[in-house]
Amino acid sequence: MRSTSKATVKIARGLRRALSPPEVLLWQRLRLRPCGVKFRRQHPVGRYVADFYAPDARLIVEVDGVAHDRGDRPERDALRDDWLREQGLVVVRIAASDVLKDVDAVVDGLVRLILASR
């Protein structure tokens, strides 16, 4: 995997202080290590910053708001996901609205996915 630059690490630190409401809600659950699964928030990976990362499962979780459906964002997200997968990572994109609707169901789905891959 490509090394992470100091600039990307600095960006990740800033993003940890500026989580969106759905990210805050999800982090409140993930930080409790559901079923023993450790997650990191705003984790730098190469030149990118993942919303959440489960290192043991090599799983990246991206929380997507409506901005991800506009302009060139879908193409940029696809390129990013392709690069991350080339690094041997699994990428899961979750709609922010799903997190707001039922965060516990989202966490349960993520944990089931991780446990099934072990």
pLDDT (tens digit per residue) in 79-114: 999 999 999 999 999 999 999 999 999 999 999 999
Tokens 């989580």 sit on residue: 19
C-alpha to C-alpha distance for 78 and 25, rounded to whole angstroms: 25
> How much is the mean pLDDT over the chain?
90
The percentage of residues in the chain with a pLDDT greater than 70, rounded to a whole number, is 93
State whether CATH 3.30.420.40 applies to domain 6-117.
Answer: no
The DSSP line for 24-66 is HHHHHHHTT-GGG---EEEEEETTEEEEEEETTTTEEEEEE-G
> How far is C-alpha 112 from the geometric centre of its chain's CA atoms?
16
Give residue 24's pLDDT band: very low, low, confident or very high (50, 70, 90). very high
Query: What is the longest distance spanned by two Cα atoms in the chain?
Result: 39
